[in-house]
Amino acid sequence: MEKKNNIIQRFTHAFYDFSYYKTFLKESVGKALWMIVLLTFIFSLASSAITVASLGTSIEDAMREAITEMPYFKLADGTLSSKDETFRVFGQDEDFIVFDLEGKMTAIDFMKEYKNGIYLNKDSATVVNRGEIRSINFSDIKDIHFDRNDMENFIGPVLIVVKVVIMMLPFFVVIGKMINLVFIGLICTVVGLFLRRRSSFGEAFRIGIYANVVPTVILGLLSLFPVVKIFLSPVLGFVYYGVTILYTYFIYQQMKKDPPVNDEVITENEEIIE
């Protein structure tokens, strides 16, 4: 029976057919790499889309709520002023904003009372984040004028930037995956030595790609369910590398049973005769 050596066939055989390693070893590194890169990109893109859909609304709601809680303010000529309230504390959990134009407290008082947040007085803003303190004097930005309405109008562009950044993450994930595959290739080389199978790095690298398909699918599926992934995060590394090493072991065991694979490279249009 004849079957075309297409990406779907290679993907499905990687799950259960350890003798299929012969096909991977005959392929070019680029062709073998293409499958795992495409798989990683698809899962990462789906995960990013889910993140944008779920976080986009929550971030917008949180930003609008924070702005709504603030008094109507105006920053002009290096001074923060307000038409109505001159003192208000709002926030939740460990993050608070203190709007203090009356000078009821100082930045030091704020740091003692609140772990994280922003302290605003008429002359400056102080941001406290896990012990790290950053301050800015409004006199240094006296040429900047804005009020609460400007902040509300600014939400839309900020959200667009956040969503674009999130949707670009798959490209960085793919780069990270390619670096990780080099490490996995080294692991496969070591596994081969333990099993008394001496492999070139090129061979071990392609075996690593083949053995890494199932772990990539497992992590990819979990990335679609962030809550589950966070719950399982302590064991994900063990599962990822453990399954990769297990598949590598089975592949090398199959290689002991089979005759050596020649170095012929399968082209895209070549058919495999079974």
pLDDT tens-place values along the chain, 274 residues long: 334 556 777 777 778 777 777 777 777 778 778 888 888 888 888 888 877 776 656 666 666 666 777 778 888 888 888 877 788 777 766 677 888 888 888 877 877 777 778 888 888 888 877 667 788 888 888 788 888 778 777 777 777 887 788 888 888 989 999 999 999 999 988 888 888 877 778 888 888 888 888 889 888 888 888 777 777 778 888 889 999 999 888 888 888 776 655 443 334 444 433 3
Tokens of 44: 């990462």
Place of tokens 């930045």: 107
Q: Are 206 and 25 in contact (CB under 8 A)?
A: yes
CA angle, 45 then 48 then 53, to 5°: 125
What's the 3-state SS for the chain?
A: CEEECCHHHHHHHHHHCHHHHHHHHHCCHHHHHHHHHHHHHHHHHHHHHHHHHHHHHHHHHHHHHHHHHCCCEEEECCEEEECCCCEEEEEECCEEEEEECCCCCCHHHHHHHCCEEEEECCCEEEEEECCEEEEEEHHHHCCCCEEHHHHHHHHHHHHHHHHHHHHHHHHHHHHHHHHHHHHHHHHHHHHHHHCCCCCCHHHHHHHHHHHCHHHHHHHHHHHCCHHHHHHHHHHHHHHHHHHHHHHHHHHHHHHHHCCCCCCCCCCCCCEEEC
- pLDDT of 183 reads 93
> Does the global pTM surpass 0.85?
no
Q: Are 38 and 170 in contact (CB under 8 A)?
A: no
Task: Report domain extents, the chain.
Answer: 2-55+160-273, 78-144
* CB < 8 Å & 24+ apart, contacts of 108-115: none
Q: Give φ, ψ of 2 to 5 degrees.
A: -110, 140
